[in-house]
Amino acid sequence: MLKTTTVGEEIVLDHGTGARLSRELIEFIAELLGDVYVGEMEDSAIVQTAGGPLAVTTDSFVVDPPFFGNGDIGKVAVCGTVNDLAVLGAEPRYLTLGVILEAGLPVARFATVLRSIGDASREAGVVIVAGDTKVVRPGEADQIYLNTTGIGVFRTPPLRMAHVAAGDSILLTGPIGNHTVHLLSVREGLGFERDVLSDCAPLNGLVSTVLRSPHGRAVHSIRDVTRGGLTAVLHEYARATGLTPHLVEQALPIERPVRMACDMLGINPMNAANEGCLCLFVGQSAADEVLGVLHGHPYGHQAAIVGTMVKEDGWDVRITRPDGRVDSIDELHGAELPRLC
């Protein structure tokens, strides 16, 4: 019997937030696909070929707003796909590009997106090998939607959630909340966009630097902290491993303007989407050394150790507050924030 009660009678916007409803929708899709679905709920799939394993991922991008202060939907599309390959330990090589354009979009704006795609692809070292373009009537799309599929090769063994062990340190490669605050500020005219920039960046170079370092083998798993934020990532790992992620609130890298904006808007930075932040799970004995490697890279200079994976009865996600109080962090049911990526 299909679990239609899990997703409800109709699709709602909250099914796309990256929180609990998104997870339930994905589980529903996998159930209906049956034995033609072979994914393992990682950011990329591993496909076995005669020449060796390949990493494959696909993503659609409906960024609102599609153009922002230091980037646009094109940069987000490349970075998001490249990062999904990199966190599995793969070397991104190829992208496909699907474009849906709304009639009335100025060609100059489309050209801006294409230049962003080219710049981000060159930085990441990937090439676009196939694509498709469709045009829809006015009002049928939010100016421009993109879809990308990425393919990567492995130089080191794939990283998996199953490799995470009790005692592993939890590291973040940079501040959380910047992308969300920047886009919300651009959308709503809040003024924070001048002080808070989106963190959107291709992070495959950062991952490669860490994995090829003398301490690379201590990195057990990596996850891109996108929709649903750090909260969604940690709940996913708690379910997959049976361990309890335990954070220290004061260790979380949150820039002061971001914290101010989140307080004003009544949102939790841990639930905020990011486009240039990774969560690493690292053997505790090498955590400081891996942190040092991250600090030596331009995209990791604000990295921090923020917690530990603990074996406890009744696994959950927990956080130690500045006053010593320990709280549980609930998985979001739907959207705390509007669509941003």
- Global pTM exceeds 0.95: no
Tell how far CA 86 is from the center of its chain. 11
The angle that helices 204-211 and 73-86 make with each other, rounded to 10 degrees, is 20
Contacts of 290 (CB under 8 A, 6+ apart): 171, 210, 213, 215, 218, 219, 280, 282
Domain residue spans in the chain?
A: 1-37, 42-154, 161-328
Cβ neighbours of 299 (radius 10 Å)? 20
Q: Give the pLDDT confidence score for residue 335 in this predicted structure.
A: 59
pLDDT for the residue 21: 82
Which residues lie below 8 Å from residue 196, measured CB to CB, with a gap of 6+?
Answer: 178, 181, 182, 185, 255, 257, 258, 261
Contact 134, 101 (CB under 8 A): yes
What pLDDT score does 321 carry?
Answer: 97
In this predicted structure, what is the pLDDT of residue 178?
96
Output the pLDDT for position 179: 95
Residue pointed to by tokens 């966190």:
87
Same fold, 42-154 and 161-328: no
Strands 90-102 and 127-136: parallel
> What tens-digit pLDDT sequence spans the chain (341 residues)?
444 457 888 888 778 766 778 888 888 888 888 887 777 777 789 999 998 999 999 999 999 889 998 889 999 999 999 999 999 999 999 999 999 999 999 999 999 999 999 999 999 999 999 999 999 999 999 999 999 999 999 988 999 999 999 999 999 999 999 999 999 999 888 888 889 999 999 999 999 999 999 999 999 999 999 988 999 999 999 999 999 999 999 999 999 999 999 998 888 999 999 999 999 999 999 999 999 999 999 999 999 999 999 998 776 899 999 999 999 999 876 655 655 66
Answer for the pair 179, 341: CB distance below 8 angstroms, yes or no.
Answer: yes
pLDDT value of position 102: 97
Query: What is the pLDDT, as a whole number, of residue 2?
Result: 47
CATH of the structural domain 161-328, one choice from 2.60.40.10, 3.90.79.10, 3.90.650.10, 2.30.38.10: 3.90.650.10
Straight-line distance from the first to the last Cα atom of the chain, in angstroms, rounded to the nearest whole number: 33
CATH number corresponding to 42-154: 3.30.1330.10
Assign residue 237 a region: left if phi > 0, alpha if psi is -120 to 50, beta otherwise? alpha
Residue type, 199: D
